[in-house]
Amino acid sequence: MPLKFRLIKRKDMSKDAAEGAELYYAQTSITKKVDLNRICNRISKYSTASRGDVLLVLDGLLSVMNESLADGESIHLGDFGSFRMVAGSKGASTEKDFNTSMFNRAHIVFYPGTMLTDTIRNASFEKYVVPGSDSNTPGGGSGSEDDRPVIE
């Protein structure tokens, strides 16, 4: 299924753009949110495991991932990808001047594996038209947050 997008008019940020120039840029839109319960239901359809079994395994995976990341380990999940925790810091003029309060907030980095890079490589796109809007209007609206459809 293609990724949905809208066109948004924004300031032209290219190097030689005229002052006040604007261009239309594509902005992908999320059309649905899939929660853990729905994921477990979907996975159970592809296996002999029940939704509860899948939930139990995923809960275990998350616990092990938390422990591993907190211990500074990287997590490799085959074709799915890998996770690791990273944090930069402010600089100090000498080693003695450095202390752990100089670290920036840590965050988790995900590197997609071959399964997901294939998904990215094969992505297709389709213009999203907000229901009830004039489909001839470029961008389907002004692009403000209020113009976005509410999807539940």
Phi, psi of 54 (to 5 degrees): -65, -45
Rounded to whole angstroms, how far apart are CA atoms 104 and 87? 6
Rounded to whole angstroms, how far apart are CA atoms 73 and 80? 17
Span 28-83, pLDDT tens digits: 988 889 999 999 999 999 999 999 999 999 999 999 999 999 999 999 999 999 99
Is pLDDT of 137 > 70? no
* DSSP helix, strand, coil percent of the chain (3-state; round to 5): 30, 25, 45
> β-strands 125-127, 3-11: how paired?
parallel
* Segment among 38-42, 73-77, 103-107, 146-150 with least mean pLDDT: 146-150
Quote the mean pLDDT of the chain: 87
3-state secondary structure of 149: coil
Query: pTM for this one?
Result: 0.67
Ranges of each domain in the chain: 1-31+128-152
